[in-house]
Amino acid sequence: MDSIERKLAERRERHIDFLKQLVSLNSSVIDMGRRGNELCAQELIESTLSSVGADIDRFEPDNDAMRGHPEYNPGHSYEGRPNIVGVIKGAGGGRSLMINAHADVVPAGAEGWLCPPYEPRIIDGRLYGRGACDMKAGGAAALMALETLHECGIKLAGDVIFESVVDEEGGGNGTLACCLKGYKADAAVIPEPTGLSIMPAHMGWLFYRITFSGKPIHCAFKWKGVNAVDKCLDFMCRMREVERNWAISKRHPYLPPPTLCFTVIHGGDSSSTVPEKCVLDMSLHFHPCETENGRIGSRIDAQLRDEIARFVGSDPWLSANPPQIECFQQGNAYDIGEDHPIVTCVRGCLESCTGRRPEIQGLASGADARLLTNFADTPTVLCGPGSIDNAHSINEYVPVDEYLAAVHMFCKLFTEWCGTAE
């Protein structure tokens, strides 16, 4: 590690400049991932992987191959949106490690930024720009670690697989396509922004669209009609009670309780008419234990539908005109446990590089870790620079020192987990 640390100090500005270059590329998704601009970032990542001796597999996700998979998100086009997978073959005898990073970012907007979102700047030790935190700093840190090892002439014993995927922000089809192509490893790290905490678990999600019907009439005679918006509001009050009960009864060591969030509501057509229809979108985030027999979130989904049935049964109008319930998107949870060898190894490497004992936490949202763990037989941990609290935000940033610490950590992780050739 002495030669590695000298090289890290020598190449500090190179590592910062590479992150700036990556953040300057507008690789945003469009329309929730249905289209995207990832190619510019993917070409930079591909050339960097090639320069460190990786064998490159460049391919666009195949909708036909993914169709029918429980985690597939339909309606997305991948023309000109390739995944880049770089494989650095080890000398043999070591464990393989996968790094999975997404090249896409959410749209930036233009108002309120300290600097233009694709003209990254360092201000008070923070590198600002769209994607700096989520998650170009994490992917760049792992790439710069591989470059550092290459420049030091260090040959790893185990293989390294670097997946730079598209469309993570649109649901994960990029990583799903890698899984279906057969890429797997003994373990994986996804360098999502965790503040260099270690996250061996994340929540799953179910997104529902619930449509309430009413009886329209002139609003001056509202008692003669049935207000679909009122029925929806009554439902929302009932769901808050359900969420409170789950907060008491459903616990996990490092994940928050399940949550219900009302995200979109549309009701009514005219200011003078009792609404005939109201449509509510609602998200449910759940623990790993709620999936049964491979059916995503099946246990808590059944509980939710039972609660809805009781609510509907208590209302004569809704009993005769029950709301329509559609689950339009789903993603599984996962948990490999805090004692898994990859968790222990990452924790030791971080402690060695930073001098502090990193926390074990869980991610309250979702990530692609569930795909690698559940469908590619690759136990996965989340760990990277930056805070999830400012991902997707105006003035998104990553602390420069945290990014550089991540480069150091990945250097140590590659040598510790994969081993080095004699």
Task: Tell me the Cα Rg of the chain.
Answer: 24
Structure tokens at 10: 């020598």
The whole-chain average pLDDT of the chain stands at: 97
What is the chain's length?
A: 422
Q: Where in the chain is the domain with CATH 3.40.630.10?
A: 2-201+334-418
- Return the pLDDT at 360: 96
- Return the pLDDT at 2: 86
- Judge whether residue 16 has pLDDT over 90: yes
Alpha carbons 283 and 260: distance in angstroms, whole number: 6
- Return the pLDDT at 110: 77
What is the value of pTM for the model shown? 0.93
Amino acid at 51: S
Q: Are strands 204-213 and 324-331 parallel, antiparallel or unpaired?
A: antiparallel
SS (H, E, C) the chain: CHHHHHHHHHCHHHHHHHHHHHHCCCCEEECCCCEECCHHHHHHHHHHHHHCCCEEEEECCCHHHHCCCCCCCCCCCCCCCCEEEEEECCCCCCCCEEEEEECCECCCCCCCCCCCCCCCEEECCEEECCCHHHHHHHHHHHHHHHHHHHHCCCCECCCEEEEEECCCCCCCHHHHHHHHCCCCCCEEEECCCCCCCEECEECEEEEEEEEEECECCEHHHHHHCECHHHHHHHHHHHHHHHHHHHHHHCCCCCCCCCEEEEEEEEECCCCCECCCEEEEEEEEEECHHHCECCECCHHHHHHHHHHHHHHHHCCHHHHHCCCEEEEEEEECCEECCCCCHHHHHHHHHHHHHHCCCCCECCECCCCCHHHHHHHCCCCEEECCCCCHHHCCCCCCEEEHHHHHHHHHHHHHHHHHHHCECC
SS (H, E, C) 108-170: CCCCCCCCCCCCCEEECCEEECCCHHHHHHHHHHHHHHHHHHHHCCCCECCCEEEEEECCCCC
The pLDDT tens digits for 36-91 are 999 999 999 999 999 999 999 999 999 999 999 999 999 999 999 999 999 999 99
- Return the pLDDT at 32: 87
Q: Where in the chain is the domain with CATH 3.30.70.360?
A: 204-331
The pLDDT tens digits for 131-181 are 999 999 999 999 999 999 999 999 999 999 999 999 999 999 999 999 999
Given CATH 3.40.50.970, say whether it is the number of domain 2-201+334-418. Answer: no
Fold of 204-331: Alpha-Beta Plaits (3.30.70)
Alpha carbons 210 and 283: distance in angstroms, whole number: 11
